[in-house]
Structure 1
Amino acid sequence: MASLQDQLLQAGLVDKKKAKQISKEKRKKQKVAKKSKEAQIDETKVVVQQARTDKMARDRALNAQRDAAARQKAIAAQIKQLVDNNRQTQGNGETAYNFTFDKKVKTIYVTEALRDHLIAGRLVIVAMDERFDLVPRGIADKIAERNSDIVVKPAETTTPDNEDDPYADFKIPDDLMW
């Protein structure tokens, strides 16, 4: 098998003068390396090694990104399955139940029994695919572990800071309808 230099000469890509000059420089480098008894650093090997380490770093970053996307997809599938399996039917509710989601007041219509369960905290609202579903509190806690942004937090009872308030003894009920 002919060397690369011979193949390039036969193909006409390099002339004989250039080929001799390159082989002469190569012999000089080898001679200097033998005389100095130092390990000669080959720049091409260094460049190849650097390119290899850069590629490995890029591959690791890309794999980490793919793994994160796969985990997010798996979590979304788990949440969807939890909601689909444990969804409470809202029926033809005539009672409006107002709640806040994403700093906006939303309204769903539920039956009186479901509204009572929502107020008591036995049911929690979960936002899935542009709709709101009712799930039991235990399931909502499992969903909140995976993604707390889609679980509607129950209304917090606030107490007035002013102790001189003459209406402090009169609590406003949660189920007050106007």
Structure 2
Amino acid sequence: MGKSLQDQLLNMGLTDKKKAKQAEKHVKKQKKVQRKTGAEDETKLRAEQARKEKADRDRELNQQKTAEEERKAIQAQVKQLIEMNRLGDEIKGDVAHNFVLDKKVKKIHVAEKISDQLAKGRLAIAELEGVFELIPPKVAEKIQQREPDWPIVLNEKAPDTGDEEEDDPYADFQIPDDLMW
């Protein structure tokens, strides 16, 4: 039983040596082609995998770039909102208004009327490039919607008590001008 099928066919006379050699050549060729295509397939698979990994890295980098561009655009919008809506030099005064920003007490000098408006939430303080600017509260809310981490101080709006209150029992009494509190 040590004989191959080819030897057995030759011994029986069903084939000749020429056909046996052709069949042997054909089998060798097929094995050779199979080895080459197998190696090529593996190389193609590796190349395809490397291409997919590169595409994933590129996609991730593009997402990071897009996020960074969006962040810069939002910051530019916030700066523009502050610059366009800040109050001018008429706010300057002698009254020191203290406020808390990032767990630190800060101070700006404003007019007394402006200090009252800040305390009542009718004005807000926003920091822009190290300078404190006064802005309307609606603008401050827009800024906080766009950039929640932007340094803004906005007190809660106090209910209008009104200086000309109708039910004021002391409305008929005049306050002396020289009275200091």
Fold-level match, TM-score > 0.5?
A: yes
Shift of 1:114: 0.8
* 1:52 and 2:51 are equivalent in the alignment: yes
The alignment's TM-score, normalised by the length of structure 1, stands at: 0.65
Whether the 8 Å contact between 2:96 and 2:108 is mirrored in structure 1 is yes
Rounded Cα–Cα distance in structure 1 between residues aligned with 2:114 and 2:136: 11
* 1:87 and 2:86 are equivalent in the alignment: yes
- The answer for the alignment partner of 2:141 in structure 1 is 141
Alignment of 1:1-178 (within 5 A): 28-31=31-34, 40=38, 42-90=41-89, 91-149=91-149, 150-154=151-155
Whether the 8 Å contact between 2:78 and 2:146 is mirrored in structure 1 is yes
Rounded Cα–Cα distance in structure 1 between residues aligned with 2:156 and 2:96: 15
Shift of 1:137: 0.6
Identity of aligned residues (%): 43
Instruction: Give the CA RMSD over aligned residues.
Output: 2.7
Where structure 1 has 5 or more consecutive residues not aligned to the other structure, the ranges are: 1-24, 34-38, 158-177
1:74-129 CA distance string (max 9 Å, x none) = 00110011001100125431100101111100000100111111112110111111
Partner SS, residue 80 of structure 1: helix
Shift of 1:73: 0.6
- The answer for the alignment partner of 1:160 in structure 2 is none
Rounded Cα–Cα distance in structure 2 between residues aligned with 1:26 and 1:70: 59
